[in-house]
A = this chain, B = another copy of it.
Amino acid sequence: MSEESAMHVAYLVAIVAEAMTAALVAGRRGMDWFGVCVIASVTALGGGTVRDVLLSHYPLGWVRHPEYLGYVLVAALSVGVLAPLIVRLRRLFLFLDALGLVVFTVIGCNVAHALSLPLAIVIASGMITGTCGGVLRDLLCGQTPLLFQKELYATVSLITGLVYMGGSQLGVHHGVAMLSAMGLGLILRLLAIRHGWDMPGFAYRGKWD
C-alpha cells in the first residue's frame, strides 16, 4: 500500500472513530438523533473545515467527497446500537482518537505546505486541523472547550507538526519523518492519557476584571 493510500485509510478510520465517540458524548447529553448527527459531523470534519476556510482552500473536503459525510452519519447513527460495544472497547477508541489527532495534524500540515505557506502557518494549520473539531463540539454542547487543556491534546498536535516539518526541512525521507512524528505523537498522547498528564496551569490569580 502506498504512503498516500495508507494515510487515506487512516483518515477514514479516524473520522469514523471521532464521529462515534462524539455521538456517544452527545447522546449522553440528551441530544436527539439529529443533534447527535450534527455533533458527530462537526467533530469529525470541523477541524479540516475551519482550516480550509481560513486558508481559502476550496472546495472543502466533504463538499468534494460527500461520501465522507455519509461515513460520519452512518457511524453516528450506528452508535445507537453499538454504544455498549464502544464503551467495552474504550481503550481501542481512545487509541483511534489519538490516531485521529496525529493523522489530522499531518494532513493539516500537508495542505498548508502544498499551498507554499510559511513554516509557522504549516504548523498552525496542523494544529487547527487536529484540535478545532473538538473545540466546535464543546461549543455546540455548551461546554467551555477543555480539549486543549487536558492530557496534552494540543501539545501532541504541536510536537507532531514540529517533528514532521523539522524532519522534512532537515532532508529526512518524507515517509520516515511522517511516521516518526505520528509515532512520537501517538505514544506521547497515550502516555498522557494513562498518567493524566496536564500542561502546567497559569498561576496568576490577582484581581483584574
CA gap between A140 and B87 in the complex, in Å: 29
The quantity of this chain's copies bound in the complex is 3
Contact, CB under 8 Å: A124 / B34: no
Chain A interface secondary structure, helix, strand, loop or mixed? helix
Total number of A residues with any Cβ neighbor in B under 8 Å: 64
Stretch at the interface among A59-67, A160-168, A173-181: A59-67
Contact, CB under 8 Å: A121 / B207: no
A206 within 8 A of B: yes
Closest to A142 in B: B144
Closest to A87 in B: B206
The listed residue with most B CB atoms (<10 A of its CB), out of A34, A80, A144, is A34
* A 141-168 binary contact with B (CB < 8 Å = 1; else 0): 1111100110000110000000000000
Q: A54-B53, A54-B60 are in contact. Are A33 and B66 (CB under 8 A)?
A: no
Give the B-binding residues of A (Cβ under 8 A): 21, 23-28, 30-36, 38, 49, 53-56, 58-60, 62-63, 66, 69-70, 79-80, 83-84, 86-87, 90, 117-118, 120-121, 124, 135, 139-145, 148-149, 154-155, 198-209
